[in-house]
Every structure is written in C-alpha cells, then in structure tokens.
Structure 1
C-alpha cells in the first residue's frame, strides 16, 4: 500500500470521526458558564404591546476579569421603541470585529443586543473551534455602558455606532423578533457557528424578515464584520449623507465613551455631536 493511499485513508477516517462527533454532540443550557454569561434574558409579551425583560445585564467593569455583576428588569410597550443603532467593534486581525444592535426608547434609555458565544468559565473564544460545535450562542441584552463601555474603556477597542435609517414599524418588528429569539434560546439552546450562526448573520436574518431592502442572505463580510457597515451603507440603511470613509470616522464614538464619567448618561455622551438625517423610509 502506497503512502498516498495510507494518507487518503487516514484523512477519510479523521473526517468521519469529526462528522460523527458533530452529529452526536448536542447544545446545552447546563455548563460551567462564565459568570458574566450565566444568566440568560427572559422575555414575556402581554396585552397591548406590553413587554417585560428580565436579566438585562449592567456590569461595572474594572478589568475584564474584575467586575461587579448587576442585572435589572425593564417593562415597556413596543410603541416606546423609537430608534435602532448598529455598533461595530473591530478587534485583532483583518476584518475581525463584533457587530451588535442597540434600540432607543422614548425616555432616552437604550437597550443593547449583543449576539455572542456563550463561554464556559475560563474559556476563550476560538473562531476555528467555532466551526465544530464547541460553543453555544446567546443573546446578551444589556445596558450600553456594559457592552460598549467594556470595549472602549477597558479593552481599548474602537467602536463605531451608526443610526439606522428605517421605518419605525420595521424597527419595532425587528426588535420584537430579536426578543423572541433571545427568550427561546433560554429554553432551546443552539450551537454558535463561525460561518452561519454568528453575530452578523443573526442580525441579517432578523432584518431580512421585515425589510424590503435587497440585503444578501450571506456575504463574506459577515465573516469579517469590520466591513459589515459597507453593506449597510450601500443599501442606505445607515442614517447619514456623508461619504463612506467620512461615515466611519464620524460615527466612531470611542473618544466620547472614554470621557463618560460614572454618573454621566453614557448613552447621551456617546451620541454627542453625531449628525444624522433624522428621516424615515
């Protein structure tokens, strides 16, 4: 038997072992989760558009490992939802970034939705392992000071925060759809997947259900979310009339976030000076 034949047989065996492992591995709700991802959000819908969210995260970070865990609940109606924002936080590597959303309410408060790998305690995310059912996915519903502040002020990433140009009914429908999925994952876990179940692809699925824009179901930019805003810009989803490069520069809110004091309205501070078209489509 030639070495080539042996190599082919060995490769087939390894491939079959990987496939079998993936088929018999099931997602779980019961693992030794990282403390900041231990609690899943719970969402209930009442009459007349009333919504109650439990376990909204609001961590006070000193470092990424030293922090105070805080949670609160929120009650509102869907009519209270007024705006939507797209946030992109680039990190190490070409195009590597985290994309997430935030929704604004009539009282001036904001709720961020960050679709993340649900990590076990002491474990770090590995995008390669993300192909092979090694992580569950979760929707973190959090205060903006939590999910934006930790990136700008603790980890020292840049964050761009774009206002979304969309009909208010579409914004509310997308938000409602997101909340339903966030709640469902607390009962029916799913595996994260680097290609088709990541932060960007989930955002796209929610938006495509309600938007008439020709948003592609999949794009290489969904693997490299630092360029995710390019698609949104070309489709006039971002609420701006600036050029693309100027838009990326103008809506970088890193400096504003780093000037926000503990007693400041963080969401108001990071939006100071951001010009938008303030229009609907």
Structure 2
C-alpha cells in the first residue's frame, strides 16, 4: 500500500506540474493575443487572474482527492483556450511598420533573378528613413561571394543573422544584396522575445542594400555588427540565393508566424543551407545565435588567416561603417581588413 501511495503521489506531482505549465503557457497566449483587442492592461490582468485562479484551484482539488472535478474544470477551460488559439492565423494584411510595408518576391529565369521590393532606405535616425522600394535584376553567373553578418543587440549570446550575396560583372564595384529574416512589425510594435512564442509577429524576409540594412544597425541602432566571408562553392551560392527567393514567394502566398526558437533569423537560414549541404550537424549555437560564427568556423566554412579571435576583431565593422562617407562605396569600406574566401568552382 505504501508503494502504491508513493507512486500515486508522484503521478499527482507530475500532473500538477503539467497543469501548472499549461497555466503559464495560457497566460502568455492570453496576454499577448488579447493585446490586439483588449487595450486595457488592467482588463487583461483581470482575465489572466481569473484563469490563474481557476488553474490553481484545479490543482488544489487534485491534492484534495477530488481529482475528477479538478481535471474536468481545468480541461474544459484549457480546451476552450486551445480552440481559440487555433483560430489565430497569420496575415499579410495588417497596418505594417514602414520598413516592412512591402513584401519581397522574385523569379529566376535561366541565369537572371528578378526581385521586387528590394529595400534601399536612406536612414536619418534609427526609426526614420526616406523609403525606397526597388525592382532589381541579378545575373547569377556573376554571383561570386557569400558573407554572413551577425548583429548583437542583447548581449553576447543573441545576435541577428543576415546573409549577403556579392555580384561582380568585372566592370565596376561589386554589388551586394543582403537577405534578412525578421519579424514583420505592425505600426507602433516593437520586438519581444517572449511575444515571439505566442504568435505576436508574422515572419518577414527582407532583401536590402548593405548601406541600408547593415548601416542602420552599426551606425544608428548602436548594435555591434560583424561580417564574415563564407567559403562556399558557386553552385551552392546559387542554390542558397534561389532558396531565399523561394522562401520570399512562399511567404507572399502563405504568411507564417515568427517563432523565437523554431522560426527565426538563424534557424530558417540553417534549414535552407541544410537542404543544400545535407548532414550539417545540429548544435546549441543555432539557438544561442551570438555564437553562430564559432559554429560556422567549426565546420571550416569561415575564411580566415589567423585564429578565430583575430578574425573576430577584423570582422567587427562598426568603426569602418561609421567612418564611411556618404558617397563612398559602403560595402567596400566595411570589408577592409576582413579575410575574403578564395574563389571556388
């Protein structure tokens, strides 16, 4: 009997922890989603308070030998929340922030990629810019480089990941196009890592000039930006570029939610690269994206002539970005001193 009682108590403890996890999850879901319709924080707090009270009361009943009643009350309310949660779908028709108003799309015909809504903003402050959305064409035969940028804004473990493609026609300066997987903010909205767990943001894929998308981070937002040259065969470069175009078109056709862990600026890029280079190992640094350069370096994919710490010092672009003059080639300026990958077939 004592053994049976022990295992029964363990079962109740496990059930209580699962129920408590459900209470916490539903609090997040209610708080962030009700913000769209219930503007009063006090009203949302009251709704959450009722749910927390019911959840804790259900757990209390579990330990008072009234488990069927507690589980019934909890199950009905949590089931209702889950049904409501399932009705929340991503959309492409909201009142978007200016920097994500337009959606990238494109097509590839033979060697020519045509992109619509490439961003080329002239930023005056971290939040104000002269908007320019442009159509661009790129000859994939001229694709000669891939660079990875990491922009740190929340400590050493978290960074935003961007990928820049370089095109060289042999006649003028190399052209660069940078892709960035981001949240698609609504007007007045700001990023929340916690909100990213609860369908607060749609997913956006931005293609932009480096003077736009890197400079606004290094010069105006106060982020620390690093740029690394990736060693990659040209066929793989081309496949990765095409994967970005396909992802952009997919988001136009079927909007998706951003997720802080499973659908973010690093994991989506990793999924695209893994489809091109099968067998890439999973690694904790894919979640702690600030350490992504070390992960890529462990695969032998970073161009460097010295140890990683020396490379990291050379890769830091902030001083060069801030010193670049308005008419100067910004992309060339930020690459001074950065080891470049050799041309691969």
TM over 0.5: yes
CA deviation vs aligned residue, 1:138-184 (integer Å, no higher than 9, x gap): 11000001110000000121111000011111111111111111122
Shift in Å, 1:219: 3.5
Return the index of the structure with the highest Cα Rg: 2
Q: What pairs with 1:208-227 in structure 2 (closer than 5 Å)?
A: 208-212=274-278, 214-216=279-281, 218-227=282-291
Instruction: Flag the 1:12–1:227 CA change in 2: closer, same or farther, 3 A.
Output: farther
* Cα separation, 1, equivalents of 2:146 and 2:175: 12
* Cα separation, 1, equivalents of 2:95 and 2:300: 43
Partner of residue 114 from structure 2, selected from 52, 75, 81: 52
* Cα separation, 2, equivalents of 1:76 and 1:277: 21
Instruction: Flag the 1:33–1:6 CA change in 2: closer, same or farther, 3 A.
Output: farther
Which residue does 2:144 correspond to in 1?
A: 82
| Residue 158 of structure 2 is aligned to residue 93 of structure 1 | no
Which residue does 1:232 correspond to in 2?
A: 296
Are 1:241 and 1:277, in contact at CA under 8 Å, matched by a contact in 2? no
* Cα separation, 2, equivalents of 1:2 and 1:45: 57
Task: Specify every segment of 5 or more residues in structure 1 that has no aligned partner in the other structure, as ranges.
Answer: none
Shift in Å, 1:15: 4.9
Partner of residue 200 from structure 1, selected from 266, 273, 284: 266
* Cα separation, 2, equivalents of 1:192 and 1:76: 28
* Cα separation, 2, equivalents of 1:60 and 1:277: 30
Which residue does 2:186 correspond to in 1?
A: 120
TM-score (norm 1): 0.92
Are 2:58 and 2:74, in contact at CA under 8 Å, matched by a contact in 1? no
CA deviation vs aligned residue, 1:182-215 (integer Å, no higher than 9, x gap): 1221121111111111000011011111125x42
* Cα separation, 1, equivalents of 2:284 and 2:220: 29
TM-score (norm 2): 0.75
Are 1:22 and 1:132, in contact at CA under 8 Å, matched by a contact in 2? no
Q: What pairs with 1:101-250 in structure 2 (closer than 5 Å)?
A: 101-107=163-169, 108-212=174-278, 214-216=279-281, 218-250=282-314
* Cα separation, 2, equivalents of 1:220 and 1:104: 29
CA deviation vs aligned residue, 1:211-250 (integer Å, no higher than 9, x gap): 25x423x433223211111110100111124222222212
Partner of residue 320 from structure 2, selected from 253, 256, 278: 256
Q: What pairs with 1:4-83 in structure 2 (closer than 5 Å)?
A: 4-5=60-61, 15-16=78-79, 18-46=81-109, 48-83=110-145
CA deviation vs aligned residue, 1:2-55 (integer Å, no higher than 9, x gap): 862379757766754553343211110000100110001120222x22211111
* Cα separation, 1, equivalents of 2:268 and 2:91: 19
* Cα separation, 1, equivalents of 2:205 and 2:137: 18
Instruction: Flag the 1:243–1:44 CA change in 2: closer, same or farther, 3 A.
Output: same
Task: Specify every segment of 5 or more residues in structure 2 that has no aligned partner in the other structure, as ranges.
Answer: 1-56, 64-69
Shift in Å, 1:95: 1.1
Shift in Å, 1:273: 1.9
Are 1:78 and 1:172, in contact at CA under 8 Å, matched by a contact in 2? yes
The count of corresponding residues between Structure 1 and Structure 2 is 278
